[in-house]
Structures are given as C-alpha cells and as structure tokens.
C-alpha cells in the first residue's frame, strides 16, 4: 500500500513537503543577492582550504624542479652552468 493510501485510510492529512533547507534558514547578505550567510561562510572555508592545497602543490613542484629533476639528470639548472 502506498504512503498516500495508508495516510488516507488512517484519516491523516496529506504529507507536507519539506522544501526548506539549512541554507534557507540563514538571512541573505543583501536582499538583491541570492547568497546567504551560511553559503558565504562555506565559500570562505573552501577557498582557504583550496589555497593551502595550492601552496602545497607549488612547494612540491619547486622541490621537483630544483632538486629531483637535476639529480635524476632530466635537466640542468641554469645557475649551475
């Protein structure tokens, strides 16, 4: 038996749809901008984490170019000629 038939046979009202999400509960930053304060905070956290990954990737690339590549004989640094 479907949910609607079961509720009808028990005399219950139809099930209400849950359209309100967590981000809708926080107020908007500006009335004309469709971003809420929760969305702004999560965007800031995500961008900080992404920048740390980028810094880590840059350090790894620098180590490869400066030390691992010349040691493996892939290339010769210009300052050692």
How do residues 13-49 score in pLDDT, each as one tens digit?
A: 888 887 665 546 788 888 888 888 999 999 999 999 9
Q: For the chain, how many structural domains are there in total?
A: 1
Determine how many CB atoms are found less than 10 A away from the CB of residue 70. Answer: 13
- Tell me what the pLDDT averaged over the chain comes to: 88
pLDDT recorded at residue 1: 62
Cβ-Cβ contacts under 8 Å for 39 (sequence gap 6 or more): 23, 26
Token pair recorded at residue 80: 């050692």
Q: Residue 43: how many CA atoms within 13 Å on its side-chain side?
A: 7
Range of the domain at 46: 1-80
Cross-strand pairs, 28: 36
* Cα radius of gyration rounded to whole Å, the chain: 28
């Amino acid at each position: 038996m479907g949910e609607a038939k079961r509720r009808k046979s028990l005399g219950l009202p139809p099930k209400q749809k849950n359209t309100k999400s967590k981000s809708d509960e926080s107020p908007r930053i500006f009335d004309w901008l469709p971003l809420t304060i929760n969305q702004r905070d999560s965007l800031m956290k995500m961008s900080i984490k992404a920048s740390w990954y980028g810094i880590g990737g840059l350090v790894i690339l620098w180590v490869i170019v400066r030390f691992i590549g010349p040691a493996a004989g892939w290339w010769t640094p210009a300052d050692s000629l």
